[in-house]
Chain A
Amino acid sequence: MTDTLDPNVSGSAAHAEAHGDHPTEKAYWQIFAVLATLTALEVLWSYLGFEGPALVLPLLVMMVVKFALVAGIFMHLKYDLSIINGKYFTILFSFGLVLAIAVYFVVIATFKFQI
Chain B
Amino acid sequence: MTDLATPPEERDVPVESHHTDHDDHGAHHTSLGLSNMKLAMWLFLGSECLLFGALISTFLLSKTRFITELAAGNPNVIEGLLPADQAAALAEQGVRGGFSDLPVIFQEMASERSVEAIFDIPFTSFSSFVLLMSSLCMVLAHKATEDGDYKNQRIWLATTALLGSVFIGGQIYEFTAFSNEGLTFGGSLFGSAFYTLTGFHGVHVTGGIAMLATLLILSFRGKLNSDRAETVELVGLYWHFVDVVWVLIFTIVYLIP
Closest to B249 in A: A63
The interface size of chain B toward A, counting residues with CB under 8 Å, comes to 68
Closest to B231 in A: A10
Across the interface, A12 reaches (CB within 8 A) one of B14, B42, B229, B255, namely: B229
Is B214 on the interface with A (CB-CB < 8 A)?
no
A28-63 residues at the B interface, CB under 8 angstroms: 28-29, 31-32, 35-36, 39-40, 42-43, 45-47, 55-56, 59-60, 62-63
Instruction: List residues of chain A with CB within 8 A of the CB of B10.
Output: 1
Across the interface, A46 reaches (CB within 8 A) one of B33, B104, B121, namely: B121
Is A21 on the interface with B (CB-CB < 8 A)?
no
18 examples of A-B residue contacts, CB within 8 angstroms: A4-B22, A8-B36, A10-B227, A11-B30, A12-B27, A13-B27, A15-B230, A32-B136, A36-B133, A43-B121, A43-B255, A55-B257, A63-B247, A71-B240, A74-B236, A75-B240, A80-B42, A87-B3
Q: Which residues of B are in contact with A by a Cβ distance under 8 Å?
A: 1, 3-4, 9-11, 13-15, 17-18, 21-22, 24-30, 32-38, 40, 42, 53, 57, 60-61, 104, 121-122, 125, 128-129, 132-133, 135-136, 138-140, 143, 146, 227-231, 233, 236-237, 240-241, 243-244, 247-248, 250-252, 255-257
